[in-house]
Amino acid sequence: MDEKTNSVQAVVRAINILICLNDGTDTIIEIARKCKLSNSTVHRMLKTLEELHCVAEDPFNHHYHPGYLIAQLASNPQTSHKHLVTLANQEMERLAEISKETIALYIQDGIWSIRVHEILSRNTIVVSEEDRVMKMFAGSTARVLLSQFNDEELAIIMDAIKLENNIECSVVNKMRLNEQVNETRRQGYSITRGERVAGAMGITAPIKNYVYPVALSILGIESRLIPKETGFLAELLKSAQLISKNLSNRKF
């Protein structure tokens, strides 16, 4: 094989090894079997990745795990989720043009809600930089994000949160929050008024086929959104379905 082919093959092998580590396949023998490579090739690749700080070896059991460079690259949600933002941006622009309201894209990572992209309203703004990364358990966005966890995952999140320390709204206990999340699962969207910000309204739909739960929201003032709620919901669902379809054609 020529030099270019060898280089491409090395990159493919390195990526496959990193995928194995992410899946919990973390010994040389296991990785070699899964990637259909020799033990010596996997050992050589791991040592190269280790020199680049992409993997690290546990000195006690000789298992490997992703290195600090991988964690560093993934630590900025605005860049690590750029692919999601790129696929969603055209539909977000369309919704912003239709509604003239703030369009926001959130992911849920554990108990943290992260706003990875937004297009701000031309009118009064109801989101701000201060809440880009937060614990969020009220409002339409929170319900849609939480609704995408299975029952076991949701129970773990519920155990980890303290509602009374995070919100000042109608969600006063975990039983009620569970009911709201289950309702959101059934109907496939959520609409709330005044739960997080007095006088504000959120219309939110889930985006599927991503590695994290994703929510797409139209956020604005009740007086502006209520008269157009039905039409905006229809357009939001259309956008969410298209983005989900585009994501289904990609591998992560």
- Round to whole Å and give the CA distance between 153 and 150: 5
Q: Which of 104, 132, 120 is nearest to 207 (CA)?
A: 104
Contacts of 94-100 with C-beta under 8 Å, sequence gap 24+, read 94/235, 94/239, 95/119, 95/216, 95/218, 95/235, 95/236, 95/239, 96/121, 98/232, 98/235, 99/218, 99/220, 99/225, 99/228, 99/232, 99/235
Q: pLDDT over 90 for what percent of the chain? A: 56
With cut-offs at 50, 70 and 90, classify the pLDDT of residue 167. Answer: very low
User: Between residues 171 and 31, which one has the greater pLDDT?
Assistant: 31
Q: pLDDT over 70 for what percent of the chain? A: 86
Domains and CATH numbers, the chain: 3-73 (1.10.10.10), 77-248 (3.30.450.40)
Return the bridge partners of 109, or none.
112
- Round to whole Å and give the CA distance between 212 and 106: 10
- Arithmetic mean of pLDDT over the chain: 86
Q: Is the pTM of this model over 0.75?
A: no
With cut-offs at 50, 70 and 90, classify the pLDDT of residue 197. Answer: confident
Query: Using CA of residue 150, residue 154, residue 155, residue 156, what is the dihedral sign?
Result: positive
Q: What digits encode the pLDDT tens for the residues 81-90?
A: 888 999 999 9
Radius of gyration of the chain (CA): 22
Most confident option among 163-167, 170-174, 199-203? 199-203
Residue 139 has φ and ψ, to the nearest 5°, of 95, 170
